[in-house]
Amino acid sequence: MKISVIICTRNRFDDFTKTLPSIAAQTRLPDELVVVDTSDEKKLEEYLGSINMPFSVRYFHTQPGLTLQRNHGIRESQGDLLFFFDDDVVLDVNYLAEVENVVANDINHEIGAVGGKIIEKSS
């Protein structure tokens, strides 16, 4: 099963760069990260080209609009499972593995979508 993580962002470079380590630390890495950016500057594109991630990273710059961005991410992704995360998310290290396990064990194919629990962590 291939996993695609799709992140739509706009003018939140600092938040986005704090999210990447959370994705790279997953016990089940995604097969690809699809970034759909509508920022005024393409600072994120340059940043992504300068770092090494343990999975494929593809960057797209589109017109603003979250629905437009998500649809673009869907069209460009190659995964069987698509994960949409905000550009400031910090995931539990087992998040992708747990969701993949739930879907893989859905023998009746009844699951269409899943969500996660948001936990506020104190600094």
Domains, the chain: 3-104 (3.90.550.10)
pTM of the model: 0.92
Distances from the Cα of 59 to the Cαs of 96, 106, 112, in angstroms?
A: 21, 32, 26
Q: What is the pLDDT of residues 76-107, one digit of tens each?
A: 999 999 999 999 999 999 999 999 999 999 99
Q: What is the mean pLDDT of residues 40-66?
A: 95
Alpha-carbon distance 108 to 87, whole Å?
Answer: 33
- On the question of pLDDT at 27 being above 70, the answer is yes
